Structure 1
Amino acid sequence: MTGPVAMRGTLFIVAAPSGAGKSSIVNAVLARDPDIRLSISFTSRPPRPGERQGEHYHFVSREEFEAMVAAGEFFEYAMVHGDWKGTARQSVEPLLAEGKDVLLEIDWQGARQVRAKVPDAVSVFILPPSRAALEERMRKRGQDSEEVIQRRLAAAREEMSHYHEFDYLIVNEVFETAVEQMHSIFTASRLRRQVQQVRHAELLQTLLGQP
């Protein structure tokens, strides 16, 4: 693992159990906030119906993914539901160094790795309003067998047990409210003194300098 990353931009982490509506909320916030760059993750799993290469994920083979791991190309990576998922270093570190804000849609394992590298990262965990709602959302996809759904529900319980590792919690009961809450978190986080101090160093020096 590399050491802490020098961060001029703000790094946002968003995680949630499968079926909690994470991607829909993130996409809605990104549509409102053009100043955040979404990092597209790599995965070793095949595309699902409707998913496109380079838009939803960078789809690679397991062998390609593991070669990237060996070459040290990942900012974070983890085994999720039996497949590899990870964020390329090139998708994050140069943007942060330039002062750009970056958003990662990752799981709790990846979030833990990211916090070790970027302690000032702002992390958000999205919860469903109930177990019944979570199961209903999974079934509405119509893509998975009963066995897969039960496995995903069990995995979701495990994922939700890590909610306490995150800075903020959003309950996705009313979609528009959840979007507004996440956008508010992003806006407030950018205005933290530590971040603004770096972003506006020249202004502060001018304002506080000798007349």
Structure 2
Amino acid sequence: MLGSNGRNNIFVFTGPDGSGRKSVAEAVGQTFGMEKVISFVTRPPRQGEVNGHDYHFISNEKYREMELAGEFLESVEIDGQRYGIRSADIENKLHHRDSVYLIMNHEGAGILKNIYGDQVVRLFLYADRRTVEERERNLGLPEETIMKHLNHYDREMSYRHSCEHAFENYDLGQTTYEITNELERYLERGLIDKD
């Protein structure tokens, strides 16, 4: 099934940890009835994360097995943990839907862009370092995790200018509204009153 622009759309929400990319992505995905492609990861779930919804949490052994079988379209290592997307998951969802979305760091977003080209639309979400740090503390993340994320902040922020769209995210409702307006141009679902 192709979108109104004559192709399937793969929307990638990216940006620094703590930018709110997950909350915004899920709100926008729900608005458009898009399915999320879920990554596989070797780290344990964080507080509030659900297996099969946030990530597929698997062992290092299982990850290696899948990687050796060539299942991953993209595979990256961040702070000693492996993250990967299965090509079959993207293809299967696009077979039934005109659009899917993913939540990824800049490395994964770049790999997907190289593979799928114009089908991939990268939506970069960001907030200032202090806000990001506060959000992560409010989530109850361990101090060590917050520091690791902040160490990646500048590198993630430098990816902003490579993305098709960038949005400051200080208000979930406002950011979701802005992105919904932007994606309406790709999807033409008639959700936005243009008057």
Query: TM-score per shorter chain, which class?
Result: 0.7 to 0.9
**Aligned match of 2:30:** 31
**Aligned match of 2:121:** 122
Deviation track 1:109-142 (CA, whole Å, cap 9, x = no partner) reads 01111111111111111011x2211111111112
Q: Which residue of the other structure, out of 38, 41, 48, is the alignment partner of 1:40?
A: 38
Q: Give 1:114's aligned amino acid.
A: L
- Cα contact 1:92–1:102 (8 A) shared by 2: yes
For residue 75 of structure 1, report the CA deviation from its aligned partner: 1.9
Q: Structure 2: any 5+ residue segments left out of the alignment?
A: 1-5, 189-195
Question: How many aligned residue pairs are there?
Answer: 182
Q: Structure 1: any 5+ residue segments left out of the alignment?
A: 1-6, 192-211
Query: Is 1:166–2:160 an aligned residue pair?
Result: no
Distance 1:98 1:31 in 2: 16
Matched-pair identity in %: 30
For residue 177 of structure 1, report the CA deviation from its aligned partner: 1.1
- TM-score of the aligned structures, taking structure 1 as reference length: 0.80
Q: Give 2:42's aligned amino acid.
A: S
- TM-score of the aligned structures, taking structure 2 as reference length: 0.87
- Cα contact 1:29–1:179 (8 A) shared by 2: yes
Q: Report the 3-state secondary structure (helix = DSSP H, G, I; strand = E; otherwise coil) of the residue aligned with 1:112.
A: helix
**Aligned match of 1:179:** 176
- Cα contact 1:9–1:97 (8 A) shared by 2: no
For residue 94 of structure 1, report the CA deviation from its aligned partner: 2.9
More displaced stretch, 97-106 vs 41-50: 97-106
Query: Is 1:149–2:161 an aligned residue pair?
Result: no
Deviation track 1:159-208 (CA, whole Å, cap 9, x = no partner) reads 111112110001002221100111122211235xxxxxxxxxxxxxxxxx
Distance 2:172 2:10 in 1: 23
- Cα contact 2:29–2:101 (8 A) shared by 1: no
Which entry has the higher C-alpha Rg, 1 or 2?
A: 1
Deviation track 1:45-68 (CA, whole Å, cap 9, x = no partner) reads 111122221111111111211221
For residue 98 of structure 1, report the CA deviation from its aligned partner: 4.6
Q: Which residue of the other structure, out of 96, 106, 131, is the alignment partner of 1:133?
A: 131
Distance 1:49 1:138 in 2: 11
Q: Give 1:56's aligned amino acid.
A: D
**Aligned match of 1:84:** 82
**Aligned match of 1:19:** 18
For residue 97 of structure 1, report the CA deviation from its aligned partner: 4.2
- Cα contact 1:172–1:178 (8 A) shared by 2: yes
- Cα contact 1:75–1:92 (8 A) shared by 2: no
For residue 143 of structure 1, report the CA deviation from its aligned partner: 2.4
Distance 2:124 2:79 in 1: 19
Taking only aligned residues, the RMSD between alpha carbons, in angstroms, comes to 1.6
For residue 31 of structure 1, report the CA deviation from its aligned partner: 2.3
Distance 1:97 1:148 in 2: 37
More displaced stretch, 7-16 vs 102-111: 7-16
Distance 1:137 1:99 in 2: 33
